Structure 1
Amino acid sequence: MTTPDFSFEQTAHGNGFTHIAGVDEVGRGPLAGPVVAAAVILDPVHIPAGLNDSKKLSAKRREALFDQIMTSAVVSIAEATVAEIDEHNILRASHIAMMRAIDGLAQRPDHILIDGNMVPRGLTISCETIIKGDGRSQSIAAASIVAKLWRDRHMVDLAQQFPGYGWETNAGYGTAQHKKGLEALGVTPHHRRSFAPIHNILYQDKIVSD
């Protein structure tokens, strides 16, 4: 199994860039909660060992790496709200979150490595897109870990305010438990109304009440 390395960053350094940020987002698929992005500038001398796509790591490993990244790297975390997801669309909202994360970095980057194949609208800094970047670039892998852990923790907090949907374990994804909660309890302010399963529930309720 190939693991992320520092070759994209080294190439960028060789091209004269000094502050290279990896950017990734998490939470495009869930029915509830914000979409979260992280931007990370790793210290080439202190790269945490074992960085990888957050989905390939155990929860315990993610926790340990999160702490190491936060202490050794320049990190910014940002989100786009459920209202912004519904107003624009999930792709645009994820790009808004990415731009906010980039803008929030304490050290201004001069080159961005972006997970995926699309550049967020309005990004004027030098950048490159890397398909499956969280499994290829250590900076993007670090961003994926930070974004996922931050969002998971946020959904655990929301689960305490809105119990019954299983957000503490499903992070807002449309699991059987989540759908059961929707049937029993209805839609919360944290549900994405533009997503078909939520829209259909609201539309059915409207027909019944009309």
Structure 2
Amino acid sequence: MGLGFGVLNSVRPIKQRTFFENVMPYLASPVFATSLKHQVPGSYDIGYIDKRKHTGELVYTSVNNTEGFWGITLSGYQVGNGTTVHMSFDAVADTGTTLAILPDPLVRDYYSKVPGATHHLERVWYVPCNTTLPDLGLVINDNYTVSIPGEYIRYSNPDPKVNNCYGGVQAARNGAVLGSMFLKTQYVVFDYGQLRLGFAAQAKGNETRRLGRSRGLRLGR
């Protein structure tokens, strides 16, 4: 969709601006926000923050975009109701990725709490389709936890003849990625102007609103 940073642009011989770089001069604020959903349509807010779609204050963390991505640093994790494990690691927030791709020690710890979880040679984790999975909490700024419900992590069954479902949390090979499985739990603000990401719990009953409002656009300049 063109919501990353222009440094990733590989168009030659003349680089082109991304979608967001093109529309940014016409926006009320250089931000976009996501309200992705589990098994129902979600929404994007371009140029504004819709306070009706989240509860509580937004918690912001700085972004490292040197590689062209929305990179942040997480400070720990929690499996189910267990104690928080302090572990600093970098990850990229990416609306175009489905799964949560996380450091191998974290992933192994998570699946060690899942009876019947199996790890295949290609480094893919599977879980029994009929098992109840623990939630996975990822900690931001040492004091804010994004909790991924276990039902999101039991992802899909590639072979109906076998009671094994693909795990939605997999081990990183070339860097951690926070895909839509993570983003679906939050109202997330991508702030180009201040190079930061904002997180807040989605408001209950927050459904996709009718399109057609141009709240984020400065029309008639």
The structure richer in strand per residue is 2
TM interval, shorter chain, is under 0.3
Give the TM-score, by structure 2 length. 0.25
The structure richer in helix per residue is 1
